[in-house]
Structure 1
């Protein structure tokens, strides 16, 4: 697991961890694979929120109704009509089950602690959901603590707009 103390954020040096990687606005991010419940291709995103809101709609997965968070809007990238690469990552978090709309899932990557560096300039409170930057071959991944990002305390972290509990 990763250590998310206030002094440092790091991956446990004794074990490798698996992360699901995805793209948003041309950057590649990754979250703890253990939090992923299922993956789906987004066919349509019917917005019920006003323009600029990140809760883009709801989905039903195995009888469970869950909110869909449009991470493209949350991270300030273009959010428009889904294309064939647009995916939904269904998350099973400690507080809820929810869907996360991303530009596309790129795969599962296994990382060791020595492949992760602290996030430059991420000492501020607003970056509390960032674990660090991982180097996997030629790829550079921004590691995100998805529980913290979606928590009430970290809710304002993304452009001051994320209000998910």
Structure 2
């Protein structure tokens, strides 16, 4: 990340595979923590969605928010083929391995404005903290056209 002069903090830690495991490891790290969804829409397009770690994404409302067809979770073999990573290591930074236009990377609007935003560096044994704007700069540098959107979340209120 030096070529773009992007400032970041690196944190090494034990492997994490779930948001709950990440929460325990990341408790002492400042900034916004994330989770990522690798999705495929009914039209065959792939999407990598990055949201705050506590967000429960409303998958039924998501297509209207980001301009896609109805979505389902992508397969691990597609993730490996497109991004060169395995489940548990999903990160917007994996777009470095993706051919531009092979998938769309979406960053939740709250994260785009946050600093730092904590993401995996293509492995789940470390976390990088960098500005949301820097993540967008990297995606553009790698030839992607990232989407910033207010990702719809499930309403957890009881009425």
Higher relative contact order (CA 8 A, sep 6+): 2
The TM-score with structure 1 as length reference comes to 0.28
The TM-score with structure 2 as length reference comes to 0.29
Per residue, is there more helix in 1 or in 2? Answer: 2
